[in-house]
Chain A
Amino acid sequence: MKKILILFFLIVSCFSNQNYNDVVEKSFDSDEFDMYVDKFYRDVNNYGFYPVKPEKIIIKFSYFDRIKHATHLHGVSLGYNDDDLIEIYINKSSWDALDRAGKFRLMYHELGHDVLNLDDLDETNTELDAIMYPAFSTNQKLKMDIFIENLNTMLESYVK
């Protein structure tokens, strides 16, 4: 049973120095992301923190499941620790399988890395629905209300 669960849980994102040229090369634009970026900055601002919105914002889809070393990922954040850049790639297959709250969770996770330079939570953390938890399944149903509670938790701990 445990094995099956592990198979479903993909890594939310990676922000290491690994080469993601294939992901970038095969990426394509979408206008779906602007709303998430606007809301993310709004929510961070509401907690009294005002990160600069960089001029260079790249958020694109890519079919990770067609790229050998990226099939286990829902997304990657390449702008981590670079405050002049937001560069995020989202696995289109994951995106299509996610519900509304799941999409918020994925985007806020990547923006957490890219804008706030947050690290993933340790995998031993028991709060599997936490926004910065490193893995989740697209089958994992997350209620929007839980996402909101977890967003507040994330931002409260960030401003401390």
Chain B
Amino acid sequence: MKYSYILILFLSISLSAQYATAKDVEKLALEISKKVNKNPDPISGVAARGASSYSNTLVYMYDVPEGWYPEENMKQTIIENYNEMEIAKMYINFRINTDFHYYRGSKLVKKIGIKSHEFLNKYDLKGNLISVSKKPTQSTKLGEYVIYENHPKAKGVNFKVKKPNGWKKMEGDRPNVVQKFVKGTNSYMTLILDTGQFISKSQGKELLNDDETATEMANGMLTIGENSKLISKKYVTVDNYPSLEIVMETSIERAGTNMRYRYIVWNVFYEDRFVQLMAGTLLKVNGNEVKSDWKSDLATYRLVTNSMIFPDQY
């Protein structure tokens, strides 16, 4: 009875990335539909119909008999059962959301949606939710190193950096932009400029720890757009090189469209070059908020910057 309205299939899932993509989930749904036993459960009369998908959500569909009514705590029961049977792990680890649709004929009589992280929720014996798992701030896993050696726009700076999985590697489309990683409206790019003088690591550290210099540099960054706002600035190192990390928001107008971005920029003093690692997330278009997840994007941007290696320093 306990499991009677849950379609259980132990599936092996092979993924093209760390987390399931829409395509992976679509394949999974097809596999389930092929393998599912459509005979009604002898006790409840509920029968599996099959599965479908949208985005990274897997939809289980059931046919329910006349007189079937959903239990009060169905969502909690499903979560507990999935954990008990140790199949919740798959949904959590691969970030697959699940929907459960119960039909009587063509009529949808009950719909339950469980986000992947909700499989970590905990309930007490009375069914009260005692521990909620919030959507984790997750960065995208990084892939292999992309090596930039003797790049014509890199002004003699050789470096390698890891590309986030699922992002596109592109050439920079402006004179000082060496490379770009792009996903949707998010981007991570490397600009290299000439400083006109050699700056040692200790000189760079001293300069960037000087509040006047750091403020001047941050203010310079704010001029790239309009209505700019400095959120934070701090001294950090990028692969041993002194750097000023700036987080800011700015608005950029392109062909009549006003776009509000939040950027994190690492301004790195590298010998007689100024390496700028600039990553941005689109927040608004013409004043309207767009769907974005700065926390998660920021985690990815930081991972990419942490992967940066300047091999000629050794």
Genuine A/B complex: yes
Residue numbers of A with Cβ under 8 A of B are: 35, 39, 42-43, 46, 100, 143-145, 148-149, 151-152
Residue numbers of B with Cβ under 8 A of A are: 156, 196-203, 271-272, 312-314
Chain A residues contacting B197 (CB-CB under 8 Å) are 42-43, 46
Contact: B312 with A149, CB < 8 Å?
no
Chain A residues contacting B202 (CB-CB under 8 Å) are 149
Contact: B314 with A143, CB < 8 Å?
yes
Measured in the bound complex, the distance between the Cα atoms of B271 and A149 in whole Å is 11
Listed by A's residue number, 27 A-B pairs whose Cβ atoms lie within 8 Å are A39-B272, A42-B196, A42-B197, A43-B197, A43-B198, A46-B196, A46-B197, A100-B312, A143-B313, A143-B314, A144-B271, A144-B312, A144-B313, A145-B200, A145-B201, A145-B313, A148-B198, A148-B199, A148-B200, A148-B203, A148-B271, A149-B200, A149-B202, A151-B198, A152-B198, A152-B200, A152-B203
Measured in the bound complex, the distance between the Cα atoms of B314 and A42 in whole Å is 25
Chain B residues contacting A46 (CB-CB under 8 Å) are 196-197
Residue of A39, A46, A144, A151 with most chain B CB atoms under a 10 A cut-off: A144
Measured in the bound complex, the distance between the Cα atoms of B202 and A46 in whole Å is 18
In the complex, residue of chain A having the shortest beta-carbon distance to the beta carbon of B199: A148
In the complex, residue of chain A having the shortest beta-carbon distance to the beta carbon of B198: A148
Measured in the bound complex, the distance between the Cα atoms of B198 and A149 in whole Å is 9
Chain A residues contacting B203 (CB-CB under 8 Å) are 148, 152
Chain B residues contacting A149 (CB-CB under 8 Å) are 200, 202
Measured in the bound complex, the distance between the Cα atoms of B198 and A7 in whole Å is 33
- Excluding A144-B312, A145-B201, A148-B200, 18 further A-B contacts by CB distance (< 8 Å) are A35-B156, A39-B272, A42-B197, A43-B197, A43-B198, A46-B196, A100-B312, A143-B313, A144-B271, A144-B313, A145-B200, A145-B313, A148-B198, A148-B271, A149-B200, A149-B202, A151-B198, A152-B203
